[in-house]
């Protein structure tokens, strides 16, 4: 049963991309829960299904994607929404920030105009009220000389300020859920930490839920309350960030943590475990990590491991993890 303050509830989500030549099984039976005001990081290496999972939350996948399973956001069935309902839902209930701000910002309009138009579209307010809200948002995301910068075009802002402007656009209609797809990856380290701190502060002030996709364990440690570690389209471990970083349960998470800790936390690509993930076109009916796992044994190849929960609030899909929690 979904709790009273459940903001996101995903059950058995699968996403396939079908083409004439092949079927890519990008996401395979993902369960996720997010409480209002909580930050969940989806962590994993390239191609593990992080972005596809996140985009499914706002039905932002190409038409050819075959999506099955249940997605409830703020109690609404996302899969069942039609285009006009989605337009209202995107922005006012859920908004997204991207790695590349120019994905969200239009180069031919000033940033102030873009924010005020977004507000006007959703809330039907006057031009002056839209602009006043834009200024309020620029101040909220701590853009210095906010009034002057509202008249800037996106290319006139530095990378960090552009990122802040994009966050302001995303927050324009006070979303309950913010989706962030590697929004700091392209920035240099000091700007990256400033944007992470800003997001954390905004999330707390506004009480928003955040789903944050990253390949960077250091970033997850900085911003997350809970982490879901994805591998080959499955969540292989899920739990509170501090517990997971102190003592990961799944061998893949152990490998990531070992690799990252030894070489410094932030900015490290999660690719230091020997071997490569399986092809998403031919996933085995087995533990997908077994070929790279130091703990693998024949039983790992018998079936896809079910989630086990040795500690309340934590799960891992590994047969070596005990399953002690009743219910
Ligand atoms: N539109 C699409 N058509 C076909 N395959 C796709 C499409 N979008 C994603 N995929 C495939 O789905 C898989 C998961 O992609 P996804 O973008 O979710 O990975 P990711 O974990 O976010 O990786 P990255 O960190 O590189 O963005 C990949 O194999 C990708 O090639």
Domain coordinates in residue numbering, the chain:
6-86+219-316
Ligand 1 nearest atom to the CA of residue 24, by list position: 5
> Could you give the 3-state DSSP secondary structure of residue 286?
coil
Q: Which residue, judged by its Cα, is nearest atom 31 of ligand 1?
A: 47
Å from CA of 43 to ligand 1 middle:
14
Choose among 132, 102, 105, 101: nearest CA to 119.
132
User: If pLDDT is split at 50, 70 and 90, which confidence band does 266 have?
Assistant: low
Nearest atom in ligand 1 to the alpha carbon of residue 61 is 1
Residue that wins the pLDDT comparison between 258 and 277: 277
Residue 267 pLDDT? 53
Segment 25-41, tens digit of pLDDT: 999 999 999 999 999 99
CATH superfamily of the 6-86+219-316 domain:
P-loop containing nucleotide triphosphate hydrolases (3.40.50.300)
Out of 43, 44, 52, mutate this one to test ligand 1's pocket (max ligand atoms within 8 Å of CB): namely 52
The residue whose CA is least distant from atom 3 of ligand 1 is 17
127-140 and 111-123 helices cross at what angle (nearest 10)?
120
Q: Which residues are near ligand 1 (CB < 6 Å)?
A: 17, 24, 26, 44, 46-52, 62, 215, 280
Q: Counting atoms of ligand 1 from 1, which one is nearest the CA of 215?
A: 25
Spell out the residues 6+ positions from residue 167 whose beta carbon is closer than 8 angstroms to its own: 97, 141, 183, 195, 198, 199, 202
Distance CA 98, CA 44 (A): 17
Q: What is the pLDDT of residue 298?
A: 95
- The residue whose two tokens read 């989706």 is 179
- Residue 55 CA, closest ligand 1 atom number: 18
Amino acid 256: pLDDT: 86
The sign of the torsion formed by the CA atoms of 53, 280, 98, 65 equals negative
Q: What's the CA-to-centroid distance between 52 and ligand 1, angstroms? A: 6
Residue nearest to atom 17 of ligand 1 (CA): 51
Residue nearest ligand 1's atom 30 by CA: 47
For residues 209 and 8, the answer to whether their CB atoms sit within 8 Å is yes
pTM of structure:
0.91
Query: Average pLDDT, stretch 315-323?
Result: 93
CB 166 within 8 A of CB 102: no
- Structure tokens, 36: 């209002």
Q: pLDDT-derived band of residue 260, with 50, 70 and 90 as boundaries?
A: low
Lowest mean pLDDT among 184-188, 232-236, 317-321: 184-188
Mean predicted lDDT score pLDDT of the chain = 90
- How far does residue 27's CA lie from ligand 1's centre (Å)? 9
């Amino acid at each position: 049963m979904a709790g009273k303050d459940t903001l996101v509830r995903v059950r058995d989500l699968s996403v396939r991309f079908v083409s004439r030549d092949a079927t890519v099984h990008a996401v395979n039976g993902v369960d996720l829960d997010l409480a209002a005001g909580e930050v969940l990081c989806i962590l994993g290496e390239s191609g593990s299904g992080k972005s596809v999972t996140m985009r499914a939350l706002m039905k932002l996948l190409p038409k050819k994607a075959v999506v099955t399973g249940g997605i409830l956001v703020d109690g609404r069935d996302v899969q069942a929404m039609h285009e006009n309902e989605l337009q209202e839902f995107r922005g006012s209930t859920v908004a997204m920030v991207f790695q590349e701000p120019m994905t969200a910002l239009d180069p031919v309009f000033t940033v102030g105009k873009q924010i005020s138009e977004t507000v006007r579209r959703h809330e039907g307010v006057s031009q002056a009220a839209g602009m006043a809200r834009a200024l309020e948002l620029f101040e909220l995301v701590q853009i210095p000389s906010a009034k002057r910068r509202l008249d800037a075009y996106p290319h006139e802002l530095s990378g960090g300020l552009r990122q802040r402007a994009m966050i302001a656009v995303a927050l324009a209609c006070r979303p309950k859920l913010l989706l962030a797809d590697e929004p700091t990856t392209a920035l240099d380290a000091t700007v990256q930490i400033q944007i992470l701190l800003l997001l954390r502060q905004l999330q707390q002030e506004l009480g928003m839920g955040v789903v944050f996709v990253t390949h960077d364990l250091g970033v997850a440690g900085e911003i997350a309350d809970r982490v879901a570690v994805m591998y080959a389209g499955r969540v292989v471990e899920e739990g509170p960030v501090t517990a997971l970083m102190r003592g990961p349960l799944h061998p893949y998470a152990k490998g990531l943590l070992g690799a990252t800790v030894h070489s410094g936390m932030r900015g490290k690509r999660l690719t230091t475990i020997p071997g490569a993930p399986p092809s998403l076109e031919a996933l085995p009916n087995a533990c997908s990590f077994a070929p790279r796992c130091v703990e693998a044994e024949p039983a790992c190849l018998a079936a896809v491991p079910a989630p086990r929960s040795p500690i309340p609030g934590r799960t891992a899909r590994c047969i070596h993890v005990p399953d002690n929690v009743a219910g």
